[in-house]
Amino acid sequence: MTAMICEMVATLEDRLVTGEDSALRDMFDEYGPLVLSICRRLVGDDAEDVAQQVFLAAWRGRLSFDPSKGSIAAWLAGISRFKSIDFLRAKGRRPSTPDEHIADRQAVEPAVNGVVDQMVLASALQTLPPARRDVITLGFYENLSHPEIAARLDLPLGTVKSHMRRGLEAMQRELEGSYGRRLL
């Protein structure tokens, strides 16, 4: 099953880069809920407008997607991040000079980043293999130690540590991927 999903994602990545029409629809079907959920939390009633901007920007900038830097989900979350920042900044005030652009971005960024980071992690957690997901959930949300997790899941301690490390590694990578190159 995991292999099938991986194959499907890889295919979508390929089709995205080559600009096949089906890739846009598949990307919308697969990641529309994530993008819209992020936008809803950040901009409320204007979520659809911002989500539309996210998918248009993603489609126009599809060549900038680099699978080695994270998943499509992380990439789209990153676009959602700066589109929402743009929106919030625009809503809050009249046009600024381009020089003020960065300062304005920085004013709304921390709150946006907190929300997007959590959504990226939540999405990444869902895509982890179940054993890794269980280990991370027990460690972070039930505050169990590694030996306690090992006992609970009836796994060798080394396996628990391996699952924890690889799970966090994947989540860290997704977070980094969601920031892309736009680090204002």
| Residues 106 to 165 in contact with other proteins, rule: CB under 8 A | 114, 117-123, 125-126, 136, 139-141, 143-146, 164-165
Q: Which amino acid is at 115?
A: V
Q: Given the complex with other proteins, which of 14 and 48 has the nearer CB atom? A: 48
Q: Confirm or reject binding of residue 101 to other proteins (CB under 8 A).
A: yes
Q: Confirm or reject binding of residue 8 to other proteins (CB under 8 A).
A: no
Q: Which amino acid is at 101?
A: H
Q: Are 135 and 101 in contact (CB under 8 A)?
A: no
Single out the residue of 6, 111, 151, 182 in contact with other proteins (rule: CB under 8 A).
Answer: 182
Closest distance of CB 149 from other proteins, Å: 10
Q: Confirm or reject binding of residue 168 to other proteins (CB under 8 A).
A: yes
Single out the residue of 9, 15, 20, 32 in contact with other proteins (rule: CB under 8 A).
Answer: 32
Closest distance of CB 34 from other proteins, Å: 5
Q: Confirm or reject binding of residue 18 to other proteins (CB under 8 A).
A: no
- Of 27, 183, 48, nearest to 113 by C-alpha is 183
Count of residues near other proteins by CB under 8 A: 75
Neighbouring C-beta atoms of residue 33, cutoff 10 Å: 11
What are the two backbone dihedrals, phi and then psi, of residue 41, each rounded to the nearest 5 degrees? Answer: -70, -25
Q: Are 15 and 28 in contact (CB under 8 A)?
A: no
Q: Given the complex with other proteins, which of 10 and 102 has the nearer CB atom? A: 102
Q: Given the complex with other proteins, which of 50 and 112 has the nearer CB atom? A: 50
Distance in angstroms (rounded) separating the CA atoms of residues 174 and 179: 9
**Contact partners, residue 37, CB within 8 Å, separation at least 6:** 119
Residues 136, 118, 72, 28, CA torsion sign: positive
Q: Confirm or reject binding of residue 41 to other proteins (CB under 8 A).
A: yes
Q: Given the complex with other proteins, which of 95 and 130 has the nearer CB atom? A: 95
